[in-house]
A and B are shown apart, each in its own frame.
Chain A
């Protein structure tokens, strides 16, 4: 058998893209997709399916791509995923499907993510609206809290089952983390996010923005006064963490959530919009996840020199490998094995530096991750004028605090069974609100599982 090399997806050149907010990866053409699809050897026991959180029929859809029957590929994906254009772009494929691809043992795995993205985009461009079959209205209404991946997926499935579904969104624009968190250059808003949301709307789902559940209406209000039969809580994990080191409230220290919300949701990088953003000249971003990469690359595009400060080594960076690679290509500087201990400020209260220690990796901890230990005498200062904290997020306590009997754990996550049932009857939950910050695909999967559980509970 002739070995075909992995088909690279076209990208904007690093130097060019570091100065604009357009999408970095340009995706496959039909020819490129078909060529890449021929690399899949159609395993009898495909490990990729088991490694996908929603068990997507990966070899099957790739086979359809190979045959050039893209509509069939889209149909196969739609059985398990409602957001292929999104997941193809943001899933950590190297630890999921592609990580278990048999081709990866000796060479490069099939580019499953890029193929999924191709099919998702092709379907959105070429297939007419709502091809999904829909049951007749059953007269019952379900409320969905939050319009992120979990909420959208849950709402779409319930609408297909004939429920009247209404999504309540706290912000002014639907999409949740897809809208406020992930930047335009990684996930285009008009072309991808809006289109996915429109597809959900076309199923008959209503979306009401500007409603903060727990403040504007409570969960109990939805179930009583508003007459919903059940509620799904997919309110995400939006609460930023800080380190608790001295100087964190100096002017110029931002949570990644604030920095990215200003750039993404509020379009602060576009001078036609009113919201300001402070990018600074020398920026440090603390953290090693996707959010840290997003913040760093956003600051870079706004004209700053940017360093990522992360306390472990390259191998432990939790971000998608592609994001780390892209960030490096664009000129982001990586200060690995470096841990901040204090934020330094000028006399008038603005950030002027970050005091750090060098770290070394010690013995593996309970999770098997080697924990970093301080190198004595390694204190040093980075001169910066903006500091962005990307240390992870936790669920907003508002809903748990305003819903009597709704149980949350010590980390603020709602307690739910694997199918999404909470401690309150008729209240289901899923996604980051339950797991803490995780991935789009897991949230989408949780939303779909909960939709099935809600249906079962209402038809029992």
Chain B
């Protein structure tokens, strides 16, 4: 069992949790993910690692209640335990393999949408620790859904906000803000890392292509085991089938077949809706 040591509401329906999982905390690197099950009848759900403290044995996750299983997780309180919590899974971010002086020379921009901040944050903080602070665009529907604002401000060279309704920062989409930075402010980048909803990553990859900026995306495909056994997470990258769980989750955004990836995310949508309604009813 994996106890939840702390739980904090970050925004409506979005929680940060510190989970006691010493083995994962000791091995995790930026860009990797875990799979959890809330209880013995639960689904296996992948979730990116937002932080890890080997000394304390804790792993930080950020979860948004969007379906039955994430709702169940969000309903747990401090002191409750997760039945299963396995990881770290997937390949770490490629950035962790580069020497610090090379990182310092690289102009890196993170573009994170919604809870996509969770996978981006450990990479941004890791870069800051190497003396290679990155620029960061964070997008959300509105001001109240912007998360980890203070932490990002501290770890980023420049933090740019974008909201769909204009309630904070730039009024518009992250892709509009990116173009604004590139065209109006003359910002130049050697690498863009996009994390967030699949559709956002698709449009970020489309937006960076004319500027020929290498773009890494972190895919959130459907998974069962997360160790390469089932192939539920397969994705076409550069015409080849890859497994997100073991070959990714990071891929070259300009080579990912996003239309297929988006379609594959809808595989169980009917069942998910039914389960979500049942879950909401049960919780009252």
| Residues of chain A with a CB closer than 8 A to B23's CB | 211, 216-217
The verdict on A257 contacting B27 (CB below 8 Å), with A215-B89, A248-B241 known, is no
Q: Which of B39-47, B104-112, B190-198 contacts A (4 or more CB under 8 A)?
A: B39-47
Q: Across the interface, which residues of B come within 8 angstroms of A258, CB to CB? A: 224, 229-232
User: In the complex, are the beta carbons of A274 and B86 less than 8 A apart?
Assistant: no
The yes or no answer to B143 lying at the interface (CB within 8 A) is: no
B236: Cβ under 8 A from any A Cβ: yes
The reply to whether B227 and A170 contact each other, CB–CB distance below 8 Å, is yes
**B80 is an interface residue with CB less than 8 A from chain A:** no
* Complex contact A172–B41 (CB within 8 A): no
Contact with A along B220-263 (1 / 0, CB 8 A): 00001101111110111000010000100000000000001001
Q: Tell which of B86, B228, B241, B272 touches A276, judged by Cβ atoms closer than 8 Å.
A: B272
Contact A212 B87 (CB under 8 A): yes
Complexed CA–CA distance, A238 and B263 (Å): 26
Select one of A216, A240, A248, A275 contacting B87, CB under 8 A.
Answer: A216
Complex CA distance for A396 and B225, rounded to whole angstroms: 13
The answer on a CB contact under 8 Å between A249 and B229 is no
Contacting A172 at CB < 8 Å: which of B24, B37, B267? B37
Whether B141 is near chain A, meaning CB under 8 Å from some CB there, is: no
Given contacts A273-B41, A274-B69, contact A238 B86 (CB under 8 A): no
Q: A278, B268: Cβ atoms under 8 Å? A: yes
Does B275 touch A at the CB level, under 8 Å?
A: yes
Q: In chain B, residues 64-121, which have Cβ atoms closer than 8 Å to a Cβ of chain A? A: 68-69, 83-89
Contact B84 A275 (CB under 8 A): no
Which one of B44, B86, B89, B266 contacts A275 once the chains associate, using CB atoms below 8 Å? Answer: B44
Question: Do A242 and B231 contact each other (CB < 8 Å), given the known contacts A276-B275, A349-B263?
Answer: yes
Q: Chain B residues near A266: list those with CB within 8 A.
A: 43-44, 224
Kindly identify which residue among B42, B241, B275 contacts A242, using a CB–CB cutoff of 8 Å.
B241
Please name all residues of chain B whose beta carbon is closer than 8 Å to the beta carbon of A349 when the two chains form the complex: 260, 263
Asked if B88 and A216 make an inter-chain contact with CB atoms under 8 angstroms apart, the answer reads yes
A47 at the interface (CB under 8 A from B): no
Q: Determine if B43 and A275 form an interchain contact, defined as CB atoms under 8 angstroms apart.
A: yes
Any chain A CB within 8 A of the CB of B264?
yes
A255 close to B (CB within 8 Å): yes
A residues 272-293 touching B (CB-CB < 8 Å): 272-276, 278
Q: How far in angstroms is the closest Cβ of chain B from A206?
A: 15
Task: Tell me, rounded to whole Å, the shortest Cβ–Cβ distance linking A91 to chain B.
Answer: 24
Task: Answer whether residue B185 sits at the interface, using C-beta atoms and an 8 A cutoff.
Answer: no
Contact A255 B85 (CB under 8 A): no
Residues of A within 8 A of B228 (CB): 238-239, 396-398
- The smallest beta-carbon distance between A300 and chain B, in angstroms, is 20
A438 CB-CB contact with B under 8 Å: no
Q: Which of A328-369 contact B (CB under 8 A)?
A: 348-349
Q: Which residues of the partner chain B approach A124 to less than 8 Å between Cβ atoms?
A: none
Is B84 a contact partner of A210 (Cβ separation < 8 A)?
A: yes
Task: Please give, as numbers and ranges, the residues of chain A lying within 8 Å of B83 by CB-CB distance.
Answer: 172
How far is the CB of B38 from the nearest CB of chain A, in Å?
Answer: 9
Q: Give the residues in chain B near A452, CB-CB below 8 Å.
A: none
Q: Which residues of A contact B241 (CB under 8 A)?
A: 242, 248-249
Residues of B within 8 A of A210 (CB): 84-86
A172-B84, A242-B241 known; A274+B275 contact, CB < 8 A: yes
Residue from A238, A255, A274, A348 within 8 A of B227 (CB atoms): A238
- Residue-wise, chain A 228-243 has the 8 Å CB interface mask toward B (1 for contact) of 0000000000111010
Asked whether any CB of chain B lies closer than 8 Å to the CB of A71, the reply is: no
Contacts of A262 in B (CB 8 A): 224
User: Known contacts being A172-B83, A215-B89, A276-B268, is A257 close to B231, with CB within 8 Å?
Assistant: yes
The interface residues of chain B lying within 8 Å CB-to-CB of A170 are 86, 225, 227
**Chain A interfacial positions (CB closer than 8 Å to B):** 170-172, 180, 209-212, 215-217, 238-240, 242, 248-249, 251-252, 254-255, 257-258, 261-262, 266-267, 272-276, 278, 348-349, 396-398
Can you show 27 pairs from A to B with CB atoms below 8 A apart?
A180-B225, A180-B229, A209-B84, A211-B23, A215-B89, A217-B27, A238-B227, A238-B229, A239-B228, A240-B230, A240-B231, A242-B231, A249-B234, A251-B263, A251-B264, A251-B267, A257-B229, A257-B231, A258-B232, A261-B225, A274-B42, A274-B43, A274-B68, A274-B275, A276-B271, A348-B263, A398-B246
B contacts, CB < 8 Å to A: 23-24, 27, 37, 41-44, 68-69, 83-89, 224-225, 227-232, 234-236, 241, 246, 260, 263-264, 266-268, 271-272, 275
Given A215-B27, A396-B229, 4 more pairs with CB closer than 8 A: A170-B225, A261-B224, A272-B41, A349-B260
